Chain A
Amino acid sequence: MHITASVFINDDESGLHEDYKKWLEGLAPFDASPKRYAHNRTGEDNADAHMKRQVMGREVVVAITAGKLDFGPWEQIFYGEFDGRRPKRVLVKVIGE
């Protein structure tokens, strides 16, 4: 529900999570300076987090079949934080019959 965070599906493997962090930092480096990021002219320092979350995605939509999450062998849902250390929410909505 926050524009500097993600919900995504991928592997629950800690090495991959380290790889994601390095990779995202390379694609959209943290820089508090408004010289680099016009968004930071507002006084924020998190322009990079808005970009990182666009790479990883805002949401997932998961099929429910026979009452269960219809996953492949390795799918796991993650909350991805890119501007943390404050309370942030995730919405979960189930519809169906």
Chain B
Amino acid sequence: MCGMKSKTEYLTFNLPARMAFQNITPEVERIVRDSGVTEGIVLCNAMHITASVFINDDESGLHEDYKKWLEGLAPFDASPKRYAHNRTGEDNADAHMKRQVMGREVVVAITSGKLDFGPWEQIFYGEFDGRRPKRVLVKVIGE
């Protein structure tokens, strides 16, 4: 792949709540700009198995709706009676499930040096077992 450029960065988050969403689009835009890639793709993924990277609307009402909806699909319950995973001493089985619903990663097209988004797309870090430092990987490849 003659002339391919790549750039990799790791972002660290420590969200102060168990479940929270943070818009990380500006950070990803900066990494794409710094890479010099004009045509390519950027992979942005959570490096922890109780967190997500996803794309959707930057609207706070929707974020409240996501929280309630996810809690309904996979309720928090520290008890190993409900969740076999919690027999390990963990209490976060629900977070492993919530993150599967929201996804691990996004792959975004880079066109003319910019994230090639529709009108409302924004990249979010989704935390489901927060209050500790966790990383997101951003890797740009292209020419």
Known: A23-B74, A96-B1. A65 touches B49 (CB 8 A): no
Interface string of A38-64 (1 = CB under 8 A from B): 000000000000000001110011110
Measured as residues with beta carbon below 8 angstroms from the partner, the interface class of chain B is 20 to 34
B48 within 8 A of A: yes
Partner of B88, one of A10, A15, A23, A60: A15
Known: A27-B73, A75-B49, A96-B141. A15 touches B107 (CB 8 A): no
Partner of B100, one of A10, A62, A71, A74: A10
Known: A15-B87, A16-B85. A60 touches B105 (CB 8 A): yes
User: For the complex, would chain B's binding face be called helix, strand, loop or mixed by DSSP majority?
Assistant: mixed
Q: Flag if A15 contacts B4 (CB, 8 Å).
A: no
Contacts of B49 in A (CB 8 A): 9-11, 72, 74-75
- Closest B residue to A9 by CB, please name it: B104
Q: Flag if B84 contacts A71 (CB, 8 Å).
A: no
Interface string of B20-49 (1 = CB under 8 A from A): 000000000000000000000001011111
Q: Flag if B101 contacts A60 (CB, 8 Å).
A: no
Q: Flag if B47 contacts A71 (CB, 8 Å).
A: yes
Contacts of B105 in A (CB 8 A): 60-61
Contacts of A62 in B (CB 8 A): 45
- Closest B residue to A27 by CB, please name it: B73
Contacts of B109 in A (CB 8 A): none
Contacts of A75 in B (CB 8 A): 47, 49
Q: State the Cβ distance, B37 to closest chain A Cβ, in Å.
A: 13
Listed A/B pairs (25) with beta-carbon separation below 8 Å: A9-B104, A10-B99, A10-B100, A11-B49, A13-B85, A13-B88, A15-B87, A19-B84, A19-B93, A19-B97, A20-B96, A20-B97, A23-B74, A27-B73, A57-B100, A61-B43, A61-B105, A63-B137, A70-B8, A71-B47, A72-B135, A95-B1, A96-B1, A96-B4, A97-B1
Residues of A within 8 A of B (CB): 8-11, 13-16, 18-20, 23, 27, 55-57, 60-63, 65, 70-75, 95-97
Residues of B within 8 A of A (CB): 1, 4, 6, 8, 43, 45-49, 73-74, 83-88, 93, 96-97, 99-101, 103-105, 107, 134-135, 137, 139, 141
